[in-house]
Amino acid sequence: MRQTVILRVNPEEPEIDKIRVAADAIRRGGLVAFPTETVYGLGADALSQKAVAQIYTAKKRPLDNPIIVHVASREEVCKLSESIPERANRLIDNFWPGPLTLVLKASKTVPRATTGGLDTVAIRMPSHTVALALIRESKVPIAAPSANLSGRPSPTTAEHVRQDLGGRIDVILDAGPTMVGVESTVLDLTVDPPQVLRPGGVPYEELGKILGRIELHPVAIADRRISVAQVRSPGMKHRHYAPRAQLMIVEGSLEAIIPKVQELTTRFLKKGKKVGILATDESESHYSADVVKSLGSRNDLATTARNLFRLLREFDTEKVDIIIAEGIATEGLGLAVMNRLRKASSFNTVRAD
Ligand code: TXA
Ligand code: MG
């Protein structure tokens, strides 16, 4: 067991003494959980094989799943990557700092632990003031996956991090809940056309406006199981968040979804199951079940993204047997939400038209 120090920091103007405590831990090869605009990350010195190796142990993460490197300046990208294509510069101009991760050819300075043994490296510049301050004070790029135990929903609060990793890491910087709520978009620039490997905080449509032709990898859509041959990054093949409860998604028009969800709920309640419904503001009042929670309004997909992981954790805490989730639009941030839900359900979708 390690002693985990939890430091509350001001999200807009982080106290430099607290940032220094965390940065010292990074420089000594330790582990620091810190807020980004997407989710909390579990950081270590990205250039130290030994430090990054500890991330895998603390998270119980499979060793071949590569980790995103977080930077605070463009110069750091030049050191981490062999060549920066012109397309990368355009994306950096438009979306950094922010929730966009670029996969580029890795330089020799990036240890194997960080790349998961691939010849590419995933890099992003987060926009959260605390994250940027930590990277700058540490004076090294920071490798950071989401700060959850492998297989749990990503943490959007410091309390989620404490639940999963308390006693396993050195420092947690607590700056309150994160804004975006789903992880960054991962875009592979080593292929032509560039491919979205994971939908996230920067919508696919926005990338298209800058780049023209891009593709969505089938894993990003996640509407069906894909074969191992289609896997582009080892991370794709690993089991993702799966709730304790069975999760099913009902997709279709809202008019068709509501009676279908209630019909399924009644059926499971009759079997003596504890049923949770993941509804939306527009439908919430139509349901009766053991637990009904709303993701937010269908007209405000950013809010649904912000709430998603917290609500999935809450269903786990309430120990429901079955979660019936409404499908939402796969536009904008909705695609990231549906990707997480579909994976969590193991592609268990019911059509409701
Ligand atoms: O928003 C985020 O991206 C958060 C915050 C902490 O920055 N981080 C995050 O990291 O979600 P993680 O490890 O949970 O997810 C990283 C994703 C995985 O799907 C991994 O397979 C992919 O990025 N990835 C990392 N390096 C890659 C590479 N070289 N090639 C392809 N995919 C890569
Ligand atoms: Mg993760």
**Residue 237: predicted pLDDT:** 65
- Rg (C-alpha) for the chain, rounded Å, is 20
For ligand 1, pick from 37, 67, 219, 236 the residue to mutate: most ligand atoms within 8 Å of CB. Answer: 67
The DSSP code for 318 is: T
Assigned fold of 5-221:
DHBP synthase (3.90.870)
Side-chain half-sphere of 237: how many Cα atoms within 13 Å? 12
How far apart CA 69 and CA 272 sit, in angstroms, is 47
Q: Give the pLDDT band (50/70/90) at residue 229.
A: low
> How crowded is residue 336: how many other Cβ atoms within 10 Å of its Cβ?
30
| 146: nearest Cα among 46, 6, 36, 242 | 36
* Residue nearest to ligand 1 atom 13, measured at CA: 145
Residue 228: exposure state from Cβ atoms within 10 A (0-12, 13-18, ≥19): exposed
Lowest mean pLDDT among 190-204, 239-253, 257-271: 239-253
Cα 195 versus chain centre, distance: 18
| pLDDT tens-digit readout, 195-221 | 999 999 999 999 999 999 999 998 888
Ligand 1, closest atom to CA 236? Answer: 21
pTM (2 d.p.):
0.96
Q: Is the CB of 33 under 6 A from ligand 1?
A: no
Q: Give the pLDDT band (50/70/90) at residue 230.
A: confident
Assigned fold of 246-351:
Rossmann fold (3.40.50)
Dig out the tokens for 266 from the structure. 């009644």
What's the mean pLDDT when you consider all of the chain? 95
Q: Do domains 5-221 and 246-351 have the same CATH topology?
A: no
- Going from the Cα of 292 to the center of ligand 1, the distance in angstroms, rounded, reads 31
How far apart CA 141 and CA 48 sit, in angstroms, is 10
Q: Is the CB of 106 under 6 A from ligand 1?
A: no
* Residue nearest to ligand 1 atom 19, measured at CA: 235
**Residue 239: predicted pLDDT:** 62
Ligand nearest to the CA of 200: 1
| pLDDT tens-digit readout, 117-171 | 999 999 999 999 999 999 999 999 999 999 999 989 999 999 999 999 999 999 9
How far apart CA 285 and CA 110 sit, in angstroms, is 52
User: Angle 89-93-97 (CA atoms, 0-180°, nearest 5)?
Assistant: 115
For ligand 1, pick from 32, 55, 67, 68 the residue to mutate: most ligand atoms within 8 Å of CB. Answer: 68
**Residue 63: predicted pLDDT:** 83
Q: Is the CB of 174 under 6 A from ligand 1?
A: no
Q: State the sign of the Cα–Cα–Cα–Cα dihedral 167, 172, 176, 181.
A: negative
Dig out the tokens for 181 from the structure. 């709520």
Q: Is residue 44 predicted with pLDDT exceeding 70? A: yes
- Going from the Cα of 95 to the center of ligand 1, the distance in angstroms, rounded, reads 17
Instruction: Locate the DSSP E strands across the chain.
Output: 5-8, 32-35, 40-45, 69-70, 100-105, 120-124, 142-143, 171-174, 185-188, 195-198, 215-216, 246-251, 275-279, 291-294, 322-326, 349-351
* Residue nearest to ligand 1 atom 15, measured at CA: 145
Ligand nearest to the CA of 235: 1
Asked if 279 and 326 count as a contact pair (C-beta separation under 8 A), the reply is yes
* Residue nearest to ligand 1 atom 20, measured at CA: 235
How far apart CA 91 and CA 104 sit, in angstroms, is 13
Q: Is the CB of 98 under 6 A from ligand 1?
A: no
| 206: nearest Cα among 306, 100, 340 | 100
Ligand 1, closest atom to CA 186? Answer: 23
Token pair 């030049």 is found at 78
Q: Who's near 51: CB < 8 A, 6+ residues apart?
A: 26, 29, 30, 31, 44, 45, 143
Per-domain boundaries in the chain = 5-221, 246-351
| pLDDT tens-digit readout, 94-110 | 999 999 999 999 999 99
Torsions phi, psi for 352 (to 5 deg): -120, 30
More confident residue, 249 or 230: 249
